[in-house]
Amino acid sequence: MTIMEKIDNVVLAIFDFETMNVANNIISIFSDIIDTNLVDTKDPHLLKQINSLMANCLNAMQNKDYLLLADYLEYQLKPILRR
């Protein structure tokens, strides 16, 4: 399963109100992004952007704002990965 498919699955789970495993899936997605070098971690601007996005996603999960989390994944993370 690709990272994009994993993101799509999380977004669909959120829209289906299946939020039990969302936190674990988000951690898995960001771990896979770093482990597989999908983003250039040597680029300080991009690294700062990814770190900020991870913090925003964690904050959204803590606040149980899953729709905001889905927006972060769809409209911020996916475009970063498509570069």
Residues 67, 75 contacting (CB under 8 angstroms): no
Residue 37: what are its φ and ψ, rounded to 5°?
A: 55, 40
Q: How far apart are CA 20 and CA 6, in angstroms?
A: 15
Q: How far apart are CA 35 and CA 15, in angstroms?
A: 28
**Mean predicted confidence (pLDDT) in 21-33:** 93
Check whether 42 has a pLDDT greater than 90: no
**Continuous segment of H or E residues that includes residue 12:** helix 3-15
Instruction: For the full predicted model, state whether its pTM sits above 0.85.
Output: yes
**Domain membership of residue 24 as a residue range:** 3-82
| Domain total of the chain | 1
Check whether 38 has a pLDDT greater than 90: no
